[in-house]
Structure 1
Amino acid sequence: MTAQQQQQHYTSCQTDPVYQQLLHPINWWERKLKMILELSVDASNVDNLKNGARKIISHVRPEWKQDELQYKVYTDGITNQLIGVWYNDRNSQLLIRVYGQMTEKFIDRGVEKNNFEILHKAGCGPELHAVFENGLCYGYIVGEPVTTDQIIQVPIWECVAKEMAKFHRIQVENKGHPILFPKIRRFFSLMPDKFSDPEKQKRLEKSGYTKESLQKEVEVLADKLESLKCPVVFSHNDLLLGNVIWNNNQRTVNFIDYEYGGPNFQPFDIANHFNEFAGVDEVDYNRYPNKAFQYKWLRTYLAGYTNKTQEDVLEEEVEKWYVWVNKFALSSHLFWGSWALVQAEFSTIDFDFLGYGIIRLNEHFAKKDEYLGLKVSC
């Protein structure tokens, strides 16, 4: 995509009913970015990825000696491909993210760039240095992604709760409508009526799920959750453990990857994060946090969000949020379940998207009656 085509794309985004009121004008990056590069990075193999990254770095950091650059390919992501590049100091590295194939069909890249600006200004994200035809170049946040064992440990979970509260306090102009159900509907509109791979189609049929039945399930859940009238905030919407970075030296947490960021029902971010305790490669929903843990987590979060002490957070408020969060956990399963079914058709990343999608859908239906049956006692 050329710079001119990018501008046309971002301008057209403003007519999208989900995004048109999201934030202040999304052409900020044209005015403030150091570079818009008419380059494309081939991520089909590691050598090509490194060569492409080297070209980007030659523009963004021309003072770095090309023959002394060092690289690290990050393999945790299942949407895009990511490589870090540095000269001398690894902590000064820049990250180059190459978009996954066809992801532009369900990720608004103009909004993502705007998210970078908002979060960087708020002290919640790195600086965006350049855009190129199929990706971004941005700053590195020092630390390591948390693991399934770490996420339940003090002080890590406390830092996550406080950072999410800070994230949700970010004020944006024209907050807009929650993206949750429009996004899920968009995923299903992109899902093929029949997978091009016959084996994938057989696996889906064996699962018992159909596109039509799942679309009906979305509308049933939308009616129930929208009736809760939960507050809407600027949300990350993708807080899997790989997007939670723990700096052990500074004892701080940061969130990365903002491509799904936007206005959403406030409990969704929390619910989605709790679901991610199960992991991605080896999913185990026995790791989903129990009620006692959730109460501690929510009390910490609410204290941070409302600028109160934990003692001043009322028990009935914690209970209400516990009910909300677990109900929205169902929507998280439908969100990523439908996303995975689209990825199963289009993505070239080596990951069993279909299997993952079926796991998420299975968990939705396994917990549906229990979570929808939750009520606030007072």
Structure 2
Amino acid sequence: MGVVEIWDAMEVAEEARENGTSDIPSSSLTVDIKLPLPQMKPKIIGLCKDIFKNWSHLDDSCFSVETVSGGITNLLLKVSVREDNGHEVSLTVRLYGPNTEYVIDRKRELQAIGYLSAAGFGARLLGVFGNGMVQSFINARTLSPSDMRKPKLAAEIARQLCKFHQVQIPGSQEPQLWNDIFKFLEQASVLNFDDSEKQKKYDTISFEKVKNAVVELKDLTDLLNAPVVFAHNDLLSGNLMHNEDEEKLYFIDFEYGSYSYRGYDIGNHFNEYAGFDCDYSLYPDKDAQYLFFRHYLQPEKPQEVSEEALVALYVETNSYMLASHLYWALWALIQAKMSPIDFDYLGYFFLRYNEYKRRKEACFSLAQTYLARSGSG
């Protein structure tokens, strides 16, 4: 283990104390996310025994470990344990991807997760360790991008998001969106790649133009006075789970969560309709958006939402949708340099940035017309 990893592991327990989760068991152990599952399994078992002392005497054969999902920032494992009484207990171990601290504030995540869990969102936090956390296992299937477009599920996501946005997280409620984007911009604009082809592609980026785009969009959205809420900020299909039998929807993975603008969280979610193939022709049309807005604004009486409220949220969402493209474009550049995961992050930058440029004129025109009519511009 490197010096930085040792230092991070030592800080786990201290962070838990600072964030009011001191009753959560912690371990200084780390597990290398790059290990193949057969080599990782004994380390995961050792970790579970270290965190949960009542399992320390169990034979390793009482544990089974399987991969649930491997995203581009995390690895999710299901651990099943056969206890002395014959009962089987399942939990989830989440390993953070290497270098994700460049784009994710783990202290912020750890603070929020306890409050969100208490409000009924996500899995319960059961333990923390050097490079990850242990949570309760959710018995549900992960949604696909096409699921999110189904009217019944879209309405339920909207209702749940309304409740999510009402959760109060202690501390500063200053929106972090533009702070994060400017931080990403600063980091992304000074990269150097060992791969000459990557460097050649990177050198075609005009960061002056990107910065101007960020400033121009911030100035426009500031005029909308969008409500500030604690936002999920990464509500893609992989972070939505559904139990059909119980008809229960779960939001998971709050690592990008922060106080932000209501319209950003919704616009970012709508961008994820494009799915893993990034087919932005699947972005929801006005009717689909209005269905979502009705169930978000008045979950109990969706048909009573006024046209004025629908128009306002439509403008807000489709303005901040552009910010989502800029955020993830800059995020991708940092990942292109820092992440060991085999993914074309550099290509993803151009995909998101080009979609921003394609949609910009229509979205700016929509917002400027609305502001002129409402006397806010």
Category of TM-score, reference length = shorter chain:
0.7 to 0.9
TM-score (ref. length: structure 1): 0.88
* 1:190 and 2:174 matched: no
How far off its partner does 1:172 sit? 3.0
For 1:124-203, what aligned pairs fall within 5 Å after superposition? 124-191=121-188, 192-203=190-201
Q: Which of 231, 244, 249 matches 1:235?
A: 231
2:107 is equivalent to residue 117 of structure 1: no
Q: Does 1:333 align with 2:325?
A: yes
Relative to structure 1, is the Cα distance of residues 254 and 322 closer, same or farther in structure 2, using a 3 angstrom cutoff? same
How has the CA–CA distance of structure 1 residues 4 and 149 changed in structure 2, closer, same or farther, with 3 Å as cutoff? closer
CA contact (8 A) 1:188 1:342 kept: no
Segments of structure 2 that go 5 or more residues without pairing to the other structure are 1-5
Q: CA RMSD in A?
A: 2.4
Q: Which amino acid aligns with 2:108?
A: V
User: CA 1:174 to 1:50, structure 2 compared with 1: closer, same or farther past 3 Å?
Assistant: same
Distance 2:27 2:92 in 1: 15
1:302 aligns with 2:294: no
Partner of 2:350: 358
Return the offset for 1:2. Answer: 4.4
Q: How does 1:194-273 map onto structure 2 within 5 Å?
A: 194-205=192-203, 208-273=204-269
Identical-residue share of aligned pairs (%):
33
Contact 1:145 1:241 in 2 (8 A): yes
* Distance change (3 Å), C-alpha of 1:153 and 1:315: same
Q: CA deviation at 1:216?
A: 2.6
Deviates more, 1:47-56 or 1:113-122: 47-56
Which aligned pairs between 1:315-326 and structure 2 lie closer than 5 A?
A: 315-326=307-318
Structure 1 unmatched runs, 5+: 12-24
| 1:320-343 deviation digits (Å, cap 9, x = unpaired) | 101110000000001111101100
Q: Deviations over 1:100-141 (max 9, x none)?
A: 121112311111111110111111122111111111111122
Deviations 1:131-159 (A, max 9, x none): 11111111122211211221111421111
Question: How far, CA to CA, are the matches of 1:159 and 1:242 in structure 2?
Answer: 16
Question: Judging changes above 3 Å, is the alpha-carbon distance between structure 1 residues 204 and 297 closer, same or farther for their aligned structure 2 residues?
Answer: same
Equivalent residue, structure 1, for 2:78: 84
8 A Cα contact 1:270 1:325, kept in partner: yes
Select between 292-301 and 184-193 the one with higher mean Cα deviation.
184-193
Residue 181 of structure 1 deviates from its aligned partner by: 0.9
Alignment check: 8 A CA contact 1:73 1:84 kept: yes
Question: In the alignment, which residue of structure 2 is the partner of 1:51?
Answer: 42
Question: Using the alignment, how far apart are the partners of 1:213 and 1:344 within structure 2?
Answer: 20
1:76 positional shift: 4.2
Aligned residue pair count: 357
SS of equivalent residue, structure 1 residue 36: coil
Partner of 1:14: none
Structure number, greater radius of gyration: 2
**What is the TM-score with the length of structure 2 in the denominator?**
0.88
2:3 corresponds to:
none
